Amino acid sequence: MSVLVVDKVGPATSVQDKGRSGAQRYGLTPSGAMDLKSLAIANALVGGEPGAAAIEIGPLGAEFRVMGGAVRVSLAGADRAATLNGRGAWVNETVLLPHGATFAVSAARSGVFSYLGIEGGIAGKPVYGSLSVSARAGLGSPYPRPLQGGDRLEVGTAENREFERRFKPFPVEPGPIRVVLGPQDDAMTPEAVALFLGAEWRVSPRSDRMGYRLEGPKLAHADGFNIVSDGTVAGSIQVPGNGQPLALLADRGTTGGYPKIATIITADLSRFAQTQAGGRVRFVCVPMEEAQKEARRFAAMLAHIEERVESLLNREKLRSI
């Protein structure tokens, strides 16, 4: 094993994998990566499973240093600059970090979260089947909190010094975020439902991994805003008493007592999570059958994501073509 030392890091960087499942009945949030697609890309590049643990880097920058044997990493997700010992590195490609090397990433230029995949993975003791950090619950491994300067992560040592990879990017997915109405859209007035779908919403700076607060016109409830608490899922959009929607995400509570006007479909959650504070989003309603079809397509894409990875036997020669 080698060691990846955290020299500098922003407040929203932590170890995340696909999340923990099977414990929501006990009130335990799944946590996990905010952008499962980018997590899968980072892992595919370094030969890992799509949902394996990686370092989720928040909107600010981070800097890491290698101790021991060489470490191969990959960076996927938000658009940002990366350097190896001060020289430009590459996003969506693997980078070999020798002993003593410093790998740094800038603040995100667009998007929010990036994923640092590591060949051989991150050593840790799974908590309820996952290394994912849930800061509010104090769960996760190797640290049950966001990463801090001085933290040391035991990671895999690179096996092949000459083999590098790059990822063939997916086409850009434009357009509104797709939702299925409900399960409590009938707790809102018909005018509020139409306004929710017709308005442009701004992601509040007060957003976090628990949920994104949306700022825009006030949505009116049909008969009060309190309901009997029931289950939530990633993408549930609650409307509390102030009439401003709240989209629940990875660190959400497992139940909620506000009406849920709509639910973001699984296939669009990663794209939604990459919306920066101050960014604008719109929503469009799709039928349940389309949401299910897109969920199956998304799952199949994750399962076969390694098919978009290409070998780079001579990086400099390929870059000169």
pLDDT digits (tens, 9 = 90+) for 231-246: 999 999 999 999 999 9
pLDDT tens per residue, range 68-103:
999 999 999 999 999 999 998 888 999 999 999 999
Q: Name the band, by pLDDT with cuts 50, 70 and 90, for residue 260.
A: very high
pLDDT tens per residue, range 279-296:
999 999 999 999 999 999
Question: Looking at 172-245, which runs of residues are DSSP E strands?
Answer: 177-181, 201-203, 211-215, 230-231, 236-238
Locate all alpha helices (DSSP H) within the chain, ordered by sequence: 36-45, 190-198, 266-273, 288-303, 315-320
User: Widest CA span of the chain, in angstroms?
Assistant: 66
Per-residue DSSP letter, 150: T
**Alpha-carbon distance values, 20 to 33, 99, 140, 222, 261 (Å):** 11, 33, 10, 36, 26
pLDDT greater than 60 at residue 37:
yes
What integer best gives the mean pLDDT of the chain? 94
> Strand order of the sheet with strand 236-238?
280-281, 201-203, 211-215, 246-248, 236-238, 260-264, 177-181, 283-285
Tokens of 218: 């006030």
At 23 the pLDDT is 87
CA distance 262 to 204: 19
Among residues 4, 124, 117, which one has the least CA distance to residue 57?
117
pTM flag (> 0.75)? yes
pLDDT tens per residue, range 94-138:
999 999 999 999 999 999 999 999 999 999 999 999 999 999 999
At 163 the pLDDT is 79
Q: Name the band, by pLDDT with cuts 50, 70 and 90, for residue 160.
A: confident
At 314 the pLDDT is 52
At 178 the pLDDT is 98
Separation of first and last alpha carbons in the chain: 36
Among residues 134, 106, 184, which one has the least CA distance to residue 16?
134
pLDDT greater than 50 at residue 320:
no
Percent of the chain with pLDDT over 90: 88
Three-class DSSP category at 63:
strand
Question: Between 2.60.40.10, 3.40.50.300, 2.40.37.10, 2.40.100.10, what CATH number should domain 177-286 receive?
Answer: 2.40.100.10
Place of tokens 């497992």: 254
Domain boundaries, the chain: 2-170+305-320, 177-286
Tokens of 112: 């929010």
Among residues 140, 103, 137, which one has the least CA distance to residue 16?
140
Residues 6+ apart with CB under 8 A from 194: none
Q: Name the band, by pLDDT with cuts 50, 70 and 90, for residue 318.
A: very low
Q: Name the band, by pLDDT with cuts 50, 70 and 90, for residue 262.
A: very high
Q: Are 244 and 217 in contact (CB under 8 A)?
A: no
At 313 the pLDDT is 64
CA distance 114 to 39: 8
pLDDT greater than 80 at residue 321:
no
